Amino acid sequence: MQPIETKEDLSGYGPIRNVVMGSTYEDLSATFYVSNDHKEQKFFHEWQNTAYNMNASDNFGANYYYNYVGNIDIYQLDERDTRRLGVRVMEAFPKTIGSIEMGYANANQIEKMSVSFAYRYWEILPGGAGSSFLNRLANIAINQVERKLISKLPKVLTRL
């Protein structure tokens, strides 16, 4: 959702009109599977700690903006795991890391963790559909390399 931020223009006579001042974005929410060693949870906590050090010994210091933001690419995949369409979220960082439910009743379930990301803006990334022949060949090569890399990752990470 991309709401437009407006302000009333009072500079003229007659009915008041709204003029565009900018754009605001809601936080992006994502859910991740958590492995037995909780490395996904540790990853997001470490990323969050680069933004704001939550240790009393380090005076709870905030870091510089460009030291903790990054871009996140999200793709829709087809049935053959080929990228169809994507979104790049710019200047993102994990704002909220959700709790992981633990208990005897959850013993046979995969643990999940929700993370909400704040970001500045987003843009559409092209997918494989409708691209030129050379772009499709490049996407095929990239997808093959990604599949080989992904096949070497632990199974729980490939579900992310």
pLDDT digits 0-9 by tens, 58-114: 677 888 999 999 999 998 888 888 888 899 999 999 999 998 877 777 777 888 999
The angle formed by the CA atoms of residues 102, 106 and 107, to the nearest 5 degrees, is 100
Which residues on neighbouring strands pair with residue 97, listed in sequence order? 115
Q: Are 54 and 62 in contact, with CB atoms under 8 Å apart?
A: no
Global confidence as pTM: 0.67
> pLDDT grade, residue 139 (50/70/90)?
low
Q: Are 84 and 76 in contact, with CB atoms under 8 Å apart?
A: yes
Q: Which helix (H) or strand (E) holds 75?
A: strand 70-77
Please report, for the chain, the start and end positions of each structural domain, with discontinuous segments joined by +.
Answer: 26-158
Tell me the percentage of the chain whose pLDDT exceeds 90: 30
- Whether 137 shows a pLDDT value over 70: the answer reads no
What is the average per-residue pLDDT within 109-128? 87
What is the average per-residue pLDDT within 3-14? 86
Tell me the percentage of the chain whose pLDDT exceeds 70: 74
pLDDT at 114: 94
Distance CA 147, CA 142 (A): 9
* Least reliable range by pLDDT among 31-35, 110-114, 123-127, 152-156: 152-156
What is the average per-residue pLDDT within 130-136? 57
Q: Encoding tokens for residue 82?
A: 């080929």
In this structure, how many other beta carbons lie within 10 angstroms of the beta carbon of residue 127? 18
Higher pLDDT: 46 or 159? It is: 46
Q: Which helix (H) or strand (E) holds 157?
A: helix 155-158
Higher pLDDT: 143 or 118? It is: 118
Q: Encoding tokens for residue 2?
A: 């991309």
Domain 26-158 classification at class level: mainly beta
Provide the H-helix boundaries in 2-154.
39-51, 133-151
What is the average per-residue pLDDT within 11-16? 87
- Whether 132 shows a pLDDT value over 60: the answer reads no
